[in-house]
Amino acid sequence: MTQETVAYPSSCLAASTNTNGVHTIEVPGLEPFPVFCDTRVAGSGWTVIQRRQDGSENFYRSWEEYAQGFGDFSGEFFMGLERLHFLTAAEPYELLVHLEDFYGGTRYARYEDFVIGNGSASYPLAVLGRYSGDAGDSLSYHRGMPFSTFDHDVLGHGCAITYVGAWWYDDCQFSNLNGQYVDGGRYEAKLSGRGICWMTWMGYDYGYKVSQMMIRPKCSNSIQRHRNSRQSLNFS
């Protein structure tokens, strides 16, 4: 008896799901792994790579934890830089940053291209495309920067410790979405930038209620590859 081989989609777009939830995907270089697919914020096909919503998860984490990922799909989580690298290396992706304040307002920032480099280069924000949206562009400043944590500071600027987070810091930041969760949003100026910061909307002294980073393939090639894979399994 031959063991049945499962053909997993390569992305949430290829999974062709119309509901929010967890799906298993597979990309070259990695074993199949679960991801959370979002269809509510900006339509179908989006893979959530980071979510903040209530402060239940500690995001002041080590380099190894950010490399491997942490948290819970039912709440707050970070996908993991290693998986993010292989995902964005497999096919062209776009990035959407969704933000909500404590007054019911929502804004977004969208980037046409998004690529994370490999671990030996400290998972840099290797490619970041053209911005559109209404939250302002607080990420282009970080283009090309390596990822930094309190125990892995490639540039030596101490930004992860200063801003109590982990990010693609330069010297230091216009955004800090892995910073401290501040209930109520506004905080003291002396703590400037240490919350879930997106400077171009509310400035440095405001932490958002919700932050969600999502990526989606820029074309439907992944859907066709998934269909071809399933057909080859059915007729082999």
Q: By the 8 A CB rule, do 18 and 44 touch?
A: yes
Give residue-wise pLDDT tens across range 32-58: 999 999 999 999 999 999 999 999 999
Q: By the 8 A CB rule, do 115 and 94 touch?
A: no
| Region class of 100: left (phi > 0), else alpha (psi between -120 and 50), else beta | beta
The Cα–Cα gap between 172 and 204 comes to 12
pLDDT at 26 over 80: yes
- Provide the terminal-to-terminal Cα distance of the chain, rounded to the nearest Å: 15
Contacts of 182 (CB under 8 A, 6+ apart): 195, 196, 207
Give residue-wise pLDDT tens across range 183-212: 988 887 777 889 999 999 999 999 999 999
Domains annotated on the chain, with CATH: 21-146+207-219 (3.90.215.10)
pLDDT at 216 over 90: yes
The Cα–Cα gap between 218 and 192 comes to 35
As a whole number, the mean pLDDT across the chain is: 92
Q: By the 8 A CB rule, do 167 and 175 touch?
A: yes
Q: Is the dihedral of CA 124, 82, 229, 224 positive or negative?
A: negative
User: How does residue 79 score in pLDDT terms, banded at 50, 70 and 90?
Assistant: very high
Q: Hey, what are 166's tokens? A: 């982990």
| Region class of 57: left (phi > 0), else alpha (psi between -120 and 50), else beta | beta
pLDDT at 24 over 80: yes
pLDDT at 234 over 50: no
Q: By the 8 A CB rule, do 99 and 211 touch?
A: yes
pLDDT at 82 over 70: yes
